[in-house]
Structures are given as C-alpha cells and as structure tokens.
Chains A and B, each alone.
Chain A
Amino acid sequence: MSLLEVRDLTMQFGGLTAVDRFNLNLNEGDIVGLIGPNGAGKTTVFNCLTGMYAPTSGEILLSGQRINGLHPYEITRLGMARTFQNIRLFKQLTVYDNIRIAFHSQSRYNLAAAVFRLPQYAKDEREILEKTEELLEIFGLYEHRNEIASSLPYGEQRQLEIARALATNPKILLLDEPAAGMNPQETEGLTNLIRWVKERFGLTVFLIEHDMRLVMKLCERIVVLDYGITIAEGTPEEIQNDPQVIEAYLGEEVL
C-alpha cells in the first residue's frame, strides 16, 4: 500500500480549474518532485494535501485513510508537514520557540501540570528541549537559537522552516520551493541536507522546485503540471526529453 495516494484530485475556484484530476502515488522513502510553469497549480496541490483547501472532488488517502475534509491540524498530526514558498515563520518569536511550537501535538501535559510544575510537565518540556536542540544542531542554527526568527539571513530562515516542519514528527515532508532565493552553493548544501534528513528521519519527500539542478539531482520521479493538468510523469531523464514538457517550458533554459 502506498503511503500517500491521490486520486483524481480536482480543485476549482469559481469557474477556474486550478488542478484537474491530479493523481499521485508516494511510497515510503520516495523523493518525488512537482514542477511546472508559474500558475500551474503546484502550490494548490500542496494546499489540498495539507487541508488548507477542501478539494472540489477526488480523494486523498494517507496510509489508506481518507484525509480530505480533515482540519489542517489533524492532517499534521497524521504525519504530513510542509514548508512555504514565501517563508511563514512566526517572525516575532525566537528560533527556539518557532521549533518548540511545532511540538505542540506531541506534548501531553495539561495546564494544571504546568502551573503546579508536576513531573509530567518537566519531563515533556525536557524532551521538547532536547529534540529542539537536536534539530537546531542538525540545521546549524544552534548558535542562533535565541535570536528572533525574522533577524536570520534568508537561507537560514528557510532551514528553520524545514526544521520546524520536522518537529511535527512527519512521515511525509512537503517542501514548497525550498531553494528559492538561494545561491548555487546554498542550493548544493540544501540538496545534501534534504537527502540526509530524509535518511535520518525516514521521510518521504514531495517537493515543488524551480531549480532544476536540485530537482534533477534529488528526485527519483518527477510530475509535471501545466494549467492544472498533469502533462508528464517519469524519471528525471524521461522528463528532460519529453516534448510536451519542453514546450511548456519553452523559452526557459532550465532543461
């Protein structure tokens, strides 16, 4: 059984069909890329998967369980986490707190335990702190832990967003243009980092990206979307030589 199965997902906004009968099969451990020109509906697919939009029709199954119609927080608790195209950190909070917030659904203590400092509170908070520090170490953000998130350089904000997504303990990580705004060296570093955290945390990764170096290097399979319609799916080599894909990207020297 596949970890994530999407069947004929369609999302309409009024008369506009942003995503038209989108299908996807993610098996455990896959890294799959979603590419397509601007406005192709890539982020809309992400928004449907995470419950931010209720799809017009179609089915989304996570480990065999139907998840369309669930609230975003419920889907997150079932093991889906994401980052955003335009960074959406809790800007006024510290790096520390940004990550600790994402442990929300895993903390078990209640308010009484917190106010009276019962053992459960201390134990949970200690666990959260340890896991937070581990994530910060992995992403090289430890020395910035007490800084306000918005004061970090752009690349590190992106890394913090990925770290925060990991803190929700996901099975599937959705990355929306993780390399946007990064220079080639940073992109290289990010490519390795994604591969490494995927192994380390046993993740399945589904990512949107415009940077073809990253996509071609990282992804085992690629889905191409244009005007909401899936125009191609295959290995990086197949995609690079697909005439329809080349036409959709005509004028762009990415392939």
Chain B
Amino acid sequence: MQEVIQQLVNGISLGSIYGLIALGYTMVYGIIRLINFAHGDIYMIGAFVGYFAIRNFNLSFLPALLVAMAVCAALGTAIERLAYRPLRNSTRIAALITAIGVSFLIQNAALLAWTPDPRSYPDVFPLRTYEIGGVFVDNRQITILSVAVALMVVLHYIVNFTQIGRAMRAVAIDADTARLMGIDVDRVISFTFALGSALAAAAGVLVGIYYNRIEPTMGAMPGLKAFVAAVLGGIGVIPGAMLGGLVMGVAEVAVVALTASTWKDAVAFAILIVILLVKPAGLLGRQVREKV
C-alpha cells in the first residue's frame, strides 16, 4: 500500500510537468488547429534560460522561473510570427511540416550553442525529504506540484474570467465572427502562443530542478509524451490536457515500478495507440465533425 502511494506521489509530480507542456499543445491546437511540434524545444529553452538565470545571474528559484517564462513567451510569439503566420492560409500539412522544421532548428541551434553535453542544474534549494506514514515526499516534488497547480489555476482564471480569455475561446470557435466582434485575431493567437510557451518554460525549469540534468535534446521525448497527454485528454480541451498529463505520469511511473525502466517510453505510445483506437476524441473531448 505504501509502495502504491509512493508511486502515485512520484507519478503525480511527473504528470503535472507533462500536463504543463500539454496545455501549450492543446491551446495552440484549439485556436489554429496546428500541432506545434516545436513546443518540446521551447520547453528545453525554458530549462536552459532558467539554468543560466540561476547560475550566471544568481537568481533564486522564483525569479529564475519568471525570467524563463518571459523569455519563452517572447520566443513562442516570435516563432508564430515568423514561421506560422505566413502559412495561416495554406494547407495544414504545410504548417505541420514547418513546425517540425522549427523544432529541428531550435534543437540544433541549441546543440551548437551549448554543446551536446548534459549539464547539472544548480542547486536552488537543498533537498529535504519528509516521511509521511512511510511515504517519502521531498521538497522538490512539493515545489513542482504547487507551481504546476498554481499555474493551472491562473490559466483557468485567464481563459474563463478575462476578456482576453473570452476572445481566445471565441477565436477557437469561429475566427471570422470573432473578427467582426472587434477582436484582433492575430493578437489573440500571439497571446495563446505566449501563454503556452510560458507554461512549457515553467515545466522546463521544474524538470531541471527535479532531475538535476538538462541537455539540448531533452525536449524531444517529453514533447512527444505531452502531445500524447493532450490527445489522451482530448486535444483542444484545457482540463483534458491536465488530466492527460497526470494519467501519463502515473502510468509511466507504474510501468517502471512493475516492469523495467526500459518500458517507460513505450507506455506513452501504447496509450496513444489505444486512445486513437478506442476513443479518438480523448477522455474529455467531444466527437466533432470536421468543419467544411
């Protein structure tokens, strides 16, 4: 029993990180129907920005987190402006291929700039472990979970209770009509990219602290897994991304505990295959017909 709870704690910490990344995928998809494959690399950049902010500028955890989020928000909007906006009216496959290209570009630029060697994250706070009824929880897990929950609450609030959030939902449903209601659709799309990228950056910093190791190729696998999480929850559905992330995290940890750690990446894609076969709209998604 203790073992189960222990694995659940580990899984939820990991899952909340996947959830943060998945939110960016799902928001961007919701608004312009594009899978932004460069999203995992924005997460990597976020981890590195946090790393340099802590190591070179001696920032503490929270300021470093905010700096990473701000830098990646700017990066996300720049990518949208330069790579995706010119393709707004072209085929979806063209935009998708471009997204993959942007991903390669960022990853290889990072390899050039920062070398492929892994770096260990600076110690922002010393590890402290608490034992609660035989279950071990450390302060890093608590930080990850509380930051992730706080960000999700802020996001929920922005999307549902502010004018820009209403504009986002309006654009997702019908961009043309939104324009006629006085909404600058391009600005709303930029804002969505900024928001999603900031969340990915936060995930990057949290992962750096949790696993204590970052490298330029670190974005690929979590990027794909978060994508699976978004699909699992129902792509375009914001609570779905959070749920999908948590399920993925717990499933991954469970598989590692029950079998061998070599299976941990396979489980993500097994979930993807099953969900596409059984419930393609995702757990919280509704079956919608393609608009013509």
Residues of A at under 8 Å CB distance from B?
50-52, 71-73, 76-77, 81-82, 84, 88-93, 97, 100-107, 109, 111, 114-115, 121, 124-125, 128, 164, 167-168
Contact = CB atoms under 8 A, between A and B. Distances in A.
Given A107-B163, A111-B162, A128-B163, A97 B169 contact: yes
B64 interface: no
Given A52-B176, A90-B169, A90-B173, A104 B158 contact: no
A45 to B, nearest CB: 15
Given A97-B169, A104-B166, A111 B158 contact: yes
Contacts of A52: 176, 179-180
B163 A109 contact: yes
Given A73-B182, A73-B185, A168-B181, A93 B167 contact: no
Contacts, number: 86
A50 B166 CA distance: 22
**4 shortest A-B CB distances, which residue pairs?**
A105-B182, A72-B179, A76-B182, A114-B162
Interface residues of B, number: 23
Interface of B: 154, 157-158, 161-164, 166-167, 169-170, 173-174, 176-185
Most buried by A among B158, B166, B176, B183: B166
A81 B184 contact: no
Contacts of A168: 181-182
A115 B156 CA distance: 11
B154 to A, nearest CB: 6
B149 to A, nearest CB: 16
Contacts of A105: 182-183
15 contacts: A71-B184, A82-B180, A90-B174, A92-B173, A101-B169, A102-B181, A104-B166, A104-B167, A104-B181, A104-B183, A106-B182, A114-B163, A114-B164, A125-B163, A167-B181
A176 B146 CA distance: 51
Most buried by A among B167, B170, B185: B170
Contacts of A84: 177
Nearest to A91: B173
B170 A90 contact: yes
B224 to A, nearest CB: 29
B183 A93 contact: no
A164 to B, nearest CB: 7
Given A93-B169, A100-B163, A114-B162, A88 B177 contact: yes
Most buried by B among A82, A104, A121: A104
A101 B167 contact: yes
A215 to B, nearest CB: 23
